Amino acid sequence: MLKRRLFLFHAFLISGLSGLLSAQSTPDEPEILGPATGKGGATVAATTLQARAFALPGMVGSVVAIAVADDGTVYLTQTYRRNNGEPDIRKNPSWLEASLASRSVEDKRAIITSRMKDWKKMAAFEEKIIRLRDLDGDGKADERVVHFSGLNNEVDGLAAGLAWSGGSLFLTCTPGFYRLEDADHAGDRVEAHPLAYGFGIHIGYGGHDMHGALQGPDGRLYWSQGDRGAMVTDDRGVTHANPCQGAVFRIEPDGSGFEIFAHGLRNPQEIAFDEFGNLFTVDNDGDFGDQERWVFIPQGSDSGWRMPYQFRSSKPWGSKSAYNPWMADGLYLPAQAGQPAYLTPPLLNYSAGPIGFVKNPGTALDERYRDFFFLAHSNKRLTAFRAEPLGAGFRMLDEHEVLRGPFITGIEFGPDGALYGADWGDNKWEPHEKGGVLVVDNPSPSVQQNPLRLETKRLLGQGTAGLDPVALVEWLNHADQRVRLAGQFALVKAGPEGEKALRKRAADTEASLLARVHAIWGLGQLARQSTEVSSALAPLLTDAVAEIRAQAARVLGDSRGGAGIADAVALLLSDPEPRVRLQAGLALNRLGGARHLAPVLALLQENAGTDRYLRHAGIMALTAAGKESKEILSDLAGHASIEVRLAAVVALRRLGYGDELVPFLHDTSSEVAAEAARAIHDDESLPGGLEALAESLSAVTARSPEALVRRAVSANRLLGTRPAALRLADFIASGTATPAVRAEALETLATWSVPFALDRVQGWYRGLPAASSSDAHLALDHCIGAGLGSPDEVVRAAATLAVKSLAYTQALPRLEKSVFDDTAPAEQRISALGALRALNSSQLGKAVRACLQAGDSALRTAALTILAQTEPTSAELPGALDRALAAASLDERQVAWSLLARRQDPSAREHIARAMDRLEGGELPAGERLDVYLAAHGSEDPTLVARAKAWEAAAQGRDPILGFFALALEGGNSSKGRQIAEGHLAAQCTGCHRLDPPLPGASPGTGPDLAGVGSRRDRSYLLRAVVNPSADIDEAYRLTQFALKSGETVFGTVAAETSETVTIRLPGAPGANVTREVPTTEILSRQSQNVSIMPPMSALLTPLEIRDLVAFLASQKEAP
C-alpha cells in the first residue's frame, strides 16, 4: 500500500559554508517537525503547527507549483525543463547583448536556434501536471495521475504557476498563460489553450519564470513573472510591452482584457491577496549585497528593477560599468530620502530566497493563524507574519518561523483547512523524481473538528450550483474568503436577481464589513459591463465606513462610470483616511482628467512625499490629466511645490512626453532635475528630450547629482555627434565634477568609434552604430592634457583607455614623457606603458627597459609582461625573469612563473625543474608553490609533467580532502578574490552568502554570512570549505534527526549530552536558543549526514581562483 511506504522528510541546514541533511523517519508514522519559536518585536509563543507527509517520495518529483481544488484534489506542476529547456544566460554569457536586444518570443527563438547546436533536444523534455487524490480519507495520497504533459518546444520554459478557479486549471509556462481544458471530460485529453502569449522574451537567469497564478477578488486571473520581459498582443490587437522587467499581469477568465497590473519587479514568485484585496509579494534580491523585499503592489506601481541591472557591476560577469542604479539609487530599500520619485518602494527588506507565498483565507489552521501570511524560503524555512495598515501602506507584525527542514517551493490552503506544500526535497535545481507533498496543520482534535473548518470544507465541496441568490448572499458572511468569493462570483452570474442581492448587501450598513466588501466587488465585476451598475455604486463613496469608501472607489476605477462618478471619486482625494485617498487616486487614473487637477495637486502637496503610496496615487491621477492635455503637466514646471514638480516629471515619463520634460532639467531643485534626467534617458529613452539632456552637461557643477551627470554624459554618446563629443571634452577639461564622472566621460569617449550596444547607465540595449573616430580625436585634442595630467588616478586611467581605444597617436609624446618620468606615480606610468604598447610606439622597447629598472614592483611586473609578449626572443628576457624570480615581491615572482610556464626553451624548463626540486623538498615559499606546480603540469616537457602528477598523487595521499589544492593555501590576491565572490558566474557566492554585515533586522541568508569569517576561521578551514564543503561541518550547524520510541521525530543540533540525556537545540528562529531535553532511553535512533548542498568550488573555479578566493575570505576580519 502506498500509505505504508517509507516517507523521506527532506531537511537541511547550511553547514561550514553550506551543509545538507537528509533525514528519514520510520515507516507508517507521519513525519513531524517539532515546534519553533518566533522573532519580532515581542516574543512569539511556540507555533502550534506540525508537518506530515501527504505524498510519498516517488509519487512526485521536481515539483514547483501546487493548487488544491475545492474537492481536495491536489495538482502539482513537475518540471523536466529546468536545465534541459529554458537556457540560462549564466551558462551562455556571450548571448547577453542579443538577449537584451530581444523584443519578442520569435527574437528569442532565433537566438536559441542560431546559437545552440543541440536545441532540438529540448523537445524531449515535457512539463507535467500531476493529479493526486486521497481516496480513502487517511490523509495521504493514494491515486496519482499525469493530468497533463507537454509544452516542450525551444521557447517553452518551466511550468511554474498553477491555479484552480471556477472548475478550471490555469497554468503559467513561458511564453504563455494557459487554461487547461479536458476535451473529453474524462481526463484523457487535457489540452493547454493560451489566454495570453508573449512572455519571457529575454534569455535570463533560470527560475525567473511566470508564477503565482490565482483568481483575484475582482474575478480576474492574476500571475507574476520574473524579469525576462513580455511583449503581448491582446484580444483587441493592442500590444503591451514590458521588456527587461518582472511584473504582475491580469486577465479575464475568457482571455479578454489583458493588462500589465504592475511592473519593475525582479523575480516575484507567488502573490497573495488579503481579505480586502490588497496584493502582496516577496521579491528576490539581485545578489549585490541588497536583500529580498516584501512588496505591496498597488496598480500601476514600478518597483524599480530592470534586468540589465543584473549585469551592471565591476564584476568579471558584466563589467560594463561599476555604476548600477539599483544600488546607487537605493531602489531595493524601503522608503528613503533621495530615492527616485517614480519608485514605489518595498515595505521591508525581508526573506532569503522567497518562493511559496499565501494568505490564510480565514478558517484554515487554528485561531492563532487566522490572519497570517505564510512564506516559504529557499533556505528551507517556512515563516508566518501579519500585515497591519500603516498610512496607505503596511507594516509587518508577529513574524516568526513555523517550520524548518523541507524545501517547499509552492504552498496552498486546501478546503480541509490544512496548508499543502510542494516539497522539492534534498535535491539541486535540476529535474528529479524524489519530491513530495507536505501538509502543515495543527493536529489537535479540537482544531481538526472545528465547526468553521468543517463547514468550509462542506460548502466548498458542494459548490454553488443550484443555489438561489437568497442563499448565495449569505455566503458573503462566511469567515472563509474562499466561500465568500464563491458566493460573490455565483451572484455575478445569477442575472438580475443576483445583481439585486449584491446591491442590497452592499448598501446594508448592518451587514458585516466583509460581506459588504464582497458585494461591492461583485457589483464591480458587473460595472465593468454596465454604466447603470456604476451609478448604483456611487452612493457608497460617501459611506460612513472608510473601507467601504475605499472599495467603492477601487471598483469604480474599473467601471464604465461617467463624469459625475469621476467627480465624486475626486472628492475622496481629501478623505481623512490614507487608504481611501490611495484608492481614489488609482481610480482617477482611468476616470479622471484635467478638471480634477486641483484636488490631485492638493493631495500631492499635503502628502509632500512622506507616504510613497499616496505619492504614487497622485502620480497616477496626474497622468490621467496629462493624457487629456500634456500642457497641463509641462506648465507645472513653474509650480512652487517640489513634490508637484516631481509628480509631473513621472507623469510625463509614463506618457512618453520628452519635449515637455526639458524645462524640468533646469529646475532649481536637484532632485527634480535628476528625476527629469532619469525620465528622458532611462529604458527606451524619450528622443524629444535627449538633446537637451546632453546639453545640460555644460551646466554641471560639483554639486550636481550623480544620477543626472551620468545620464547627461550617456545622452551625448546616444547622440554620437561632433557637438556631443566636444561637450564631453569640455566637461572633462573643466575639472568641476567629481573624478568618477570625469573618468566616466573619458570612458564614454573611448567607445566612440565602435558599435554601442549597451548604455553605460542602465545597460539598456541601444544597438547604435559606431560614431566618428575623427570627432572623438577632435574631442581628445581638447581634453587629453587634463585627462593624462589629472592628479586623480581614476581619471588618468580612463584617459589612457581612451587613447588606446581610439588609437589616438597624438598623445604619444605625453605618454612617453610620463613613462620616462621617474617622479610620476607608478600607476600612471603603468597606464602609459600599456598605451604605448596599444599605439605601437617606437619608444616602447626603450620604455619597457626603463621600467624594468624601476623601484616599484608593479611597474617592473607590467614591463616584464610586455617584454615577454612583444619580444619573446629578446636576449634580455631571461635575465629579467631571473631578477623577477629573486624579487622581494610575491606578485612579481608569481607573474614570472606564469611567464616561464608559457616558454618552452631549455632555460625555462631548467628553472621549473629546479623549483620542483624545492617544492618536493618542502623548501619553496608557500605563495609560489601553486604557480610552480601549474608551470610543471602545463609544460610540454613530459618529465616535468610526470613530476607534477607524482607530486599531486603524493599530496592526495597526505590529505585526501585537499590533495594538490593544499597549494592554494597561501599566495592569493584578496582583491581578485572579492571579485570572484561577488561576480563569478558559476560560483555564484552571493546567491547564498552575504559578504558584508546584513542590514538591521535582515532575515538569514541561505548560507552563513561571510562578513568577518576570517576572524572566525583559519585558512586551512576556509580552503577545505571551498574545495570540499562537506569535509568540515561546524557542530553548531550539524543537524541530527532523533527518532523517538513514541514515534515522534525531532530535528536539531546537540547542545549537550550525558549518559542519561541529550539536550537538543531546536531549529528555531535566528538567535533563538530553544532546547529540548530527551532521555537517552527514549531515543530509538539518531542520524546525521555530512553532505553539503554547496557544490565543491574545485569543480567550478581554477586553482588560482580558489587561491584568490581563500585570500579574500581570510581577509574578512570582524571589526574590533
Is 1070 found in the same domain as 943? Answer: no
Among the residue ranges 405-414, 547-556, 930-939, the one predicted with the least confidence is 930-939
User: What average pLDDT does range 77-97 have in this prediction?
Assistant: 90
Q: Is the pLDDT of residue 955 over 80?
A: yes
Can you spell out the DSSP letters for 598-624?
HHHHHHHHHHTTSSHHHHHHHHHHHHH
Q: What is the pLDDT of residue 526?
A: 96
Calpha distance 994→130 (Å, rounded): 37
| Strands lying side by side in the sheet with 210-215 | 210-215, 221-225, 246-251, 259-265
Task: Name 1023's Cβ contacts closer than 8 Å, sequence gap at least 6.
Answer: 962, 965, 966, 968, 969, 1106, 1110
**Residue-wise pLDDT tens digits, 1076-1089:** 788 999 888 887 75
Among the residue ranges 14-23, 224-233, 304-313, 430-439, the one predicted with the least confidence is 14-23
Grid coordinates standing for 805? 581605444
Calpha distance 904→146 (Å, rounded): 62
Q: Is the pLDDT of residue 1120 over 70?
A: no
Quick one: which of 485, 399, 522 has its CA closest to 214?
Answer: 485
Q: What is the pLDDT of residue 15?
A: 31
Is 236 found in the same domain as 218? Answer: yes
414, amino acid identity: G
Among the residue ranges 320-329, 904-913, 1028-1037, the one predicted with the least confidence is 1028-1037
SS3 of residue 747 by DSSP: helix
Calpha distance 435→456 (Å, rounded): 29
Q: Which of 42-46, 212-216, 423-427, 990-994 has the highest mean pLDDT?
A: 212-216
Q: What is the pLDDT of residue 245?
A: 98
Is 922 found in the same domain as 984? Answer: no
Is 214 found in the same domain as 334? Answer: yes
Q: Which of 925, 958, 991 is the last residue before a domain boundary?
A: 958
90, amino acid identity: R
Task: Name 266's Cβ contacts closer than 8 Å, sequence gap at least 6.
Answer: 208, 226, 227, 246, 283, 284, 285, 286, 303, 305
Grid coordinates standing for 856? 616599484
Among the residue ranges 170-179, 589-598, 796-805, 953-962, the one predicted with the least confidence is 953-962
Q: Band of the pLDDT at 961, cuts 50, 70, 90? A: confident
Q: What is the pLDDT of residue 434?
A: 86
With respect to residue 751, please indicate whether it lies within any of the assigned structural domains: no
Q: Is the pLDDT of residue 951 over 80?
A: yes
Can you spell out the DSSP letters for 633-678?
HHGGGG-S-HHHHHHHHHHHHHHT-SGGGHHHHT-SSHHHHHHHHH
Is 1047 found in the same domain as 911? Answer: no
Q: What is the pTM of this model?
A: 0.83
With respect to residue 709, please indicate whether it lies within any of the assigned structural domains: no
For the stretch 127-138, what's the b/e string if a residue is b when 16 or more beta carbons lie within 10 angstroms of its beta carbon? Answer: bbbbbbebeeee
User: What average pLDDT does range 324-346 have in this prediction?
Assistant: 95
Quick one: which of 872, 870, 858, 951 has its CA closest to 912?
Answer: 951
Q: What is the CATH number of the domain that holds 438?
A: 2.120.10.30
Q: Is the pLDDT of residue 1045 over 50?
A: yes
Grid coordinates standing for 152? 516542450
Is 390 found in the same domain as 430? Answer: yes
User: What average pLDDT does range 445-474 have in this prediction?
Assistant: 97
Quick one: which of 212, 248, 246, 200 has its CA closest to 376?
Answer: 212
Q: Which of 448, 465, 480 is the last residue before a domain boundary?
A: 448
Q: What is the CATH number of the domain that holds 1053?
A: 2.30.30
Q: Band of the pLDDT at 32, cuts 50, 70, 90? A: very low
Can you spell out the DSSP letters for 813-851?
HHHHHHHT-TTS-HHHHHHHHHHHHHTT-TTHHHHHHHH
Is 201 found in the same domain as 189? Answer: yes
Calpha distance 627→593 (Å, rounded): 8
Is 1084 found in the same domain as 1022? Answer: no
Is 129 found in the same domain as 49? Answer: yes
Count of other CB atoms within 10 angstroms of residue 793: 15
Q: Band of the pLDDT at 48, cuts 50, 70, 90? A: confident
Q: Band of the pLDDT at 869, cuts 50, 70, 90? A: very high
How do beta strands 393-404 and 50-55 pair?
unpaired
Q: What is the pLDDT of residue 1052?
A: 72
Q: What is the CATH number of the domain that holds 627?
A: 1.25.10.10
Q: Band of the pLDDT at 379, cuts 50, 70, 90? A: confident
Is 1097 found in the same domain as 1083? Answer: no
Q: Band of the pLDDT at 982, cuts 50, 70, 90? A: confident
Whether the CB-CB separation of 392 and 582 falls below 8 Å is answered with yes
Query: What is the dihedral angle through the alpha carbons of 999, 1001, 1004, 1005, rounded to the nearest 10 degrees?
Result: -30
To 5 degrees, how large is the angle CA 404–CA 373–CA 272? 120
With respect to residue 930, please indicate whether it lies within any of the assigned structural domains: yes
Between 203 and 31, the more confident residue is 203
**Residue-wise pLDDT tens digits, 754-768:** 999 999 999 999 999
Q: Which of 621, 636, 657 is the last residue before a domain boundary?
A: 657
Q: Is the pLDDT of residue 9 over 50?
A: no
With respect to residue 697, please indicate whether it lies within any of the assigned structural domains: no
Q: Band of the pLDDT at 904, cuts 50, 70, 90? A: confident
Is 106 found in the same domain as 18? Answer: no
**Residue-wise pLDDT tens digits, 298-325:** 999 999 999 999 998 654 444 445 789 9
**Residue-wise pLDDT tens digits, 732-781:** 999 888 999 999 999 999 999 999 999 999 999 999 999 999 999 999 99
Domain span at residue 652? Answer: 558-657
Grid coordinates standing for 251? 486577465
Q: Band of the pLDDT at 998, cuts 50, 70, 90? A: low
Is 52 found in the same domain as 15? Answer: no
**Residue-wise pLDDT tens digits, 515-551:** 999 999 999 999 998 889 998 999 999 999 999 999 9
Q: SS in 3 state form for 982-1023?
A: HHCCCCCHHHCCCCCCCCCCCCCCCCCCCCCHHHHCCHHHHH
Q: Is the pLDDT of residue 26 over 50?
A: no
Q: Is the pLDDT of residue 639 over 90?
A: yes
SS3 of residue 3 by DSSP: helix
Q: What is the pLDDT of residue 747?
A: 96
Count of other CB atoms within 10 angstroms of residue 542: 12
Q: Is the pLDDT of residue 1050 over 80?
A: no
Contacts by 808-814 with C-beta closer than 8 Å and gap 24+?
Answer: 808/776, 808/777, 808/780, 808/784, 808/839, 809/839, 810/777, 810/780, 810/781, 810/784, 811/780, 811/784, 811/835, 811/839, 812/836, 812/839, 812/841, 812/843, 814/784, 814/785, 814/788, 814/789
Q: What is the pLDDT of residue 1036?
A: 56
User: What average pLDDT does range 228-243 have in this prediction?
Assistant: 98
Q: Band of the pLDDT at 432, cuts 50, 70, 90? A: confident
SS3 of residue 408 by DSSP: strand
Q: What is the CATH number of the domain that holds 1096?
A: 1.10.760.10
Whether the CB-CB separation of 503 and 530 falls below 8 Å is answered with no
Calpha distance 396→379 (Å, rounded): 21
Q: What percent of the chain has pLDDT over 70?
A: 90
Q: What is the pLDDT of residue 1047?
A: 64
User: What average pLDDT does range 163-171 have in this prediction?
Assistant: 94
With respect to residue 769, please indicate whether it lies within any of the assigned structural domains: no
1083 CB-contact burial (10 Å; exposed 0-12 / middle 13-18 / buried 19+): middle
Total domains in the fold of the chain: 5
With respect to residue 731, please indicate whether it lies within any of the assigned structural domains: no
If you average pLDDT over every residue of the chain, what do you get?
88
**Residue-wise pLDDT tens digits, 803-834:** 999 999 999 999 999 999 999 999 889 989 99
Grid coordinates standing for 645? 514638480
With respect to residue 526, please indicate whether it lies within any of the assigned structural domains: no
Whether the CB-CB separation of 602 and 571 falls below 8 Å is answered with no
With respect to residue 758, please indicate whether it lies within any of the assigned structural domains: no
Calpha distance 1019→1032 (Å, rounded): 13
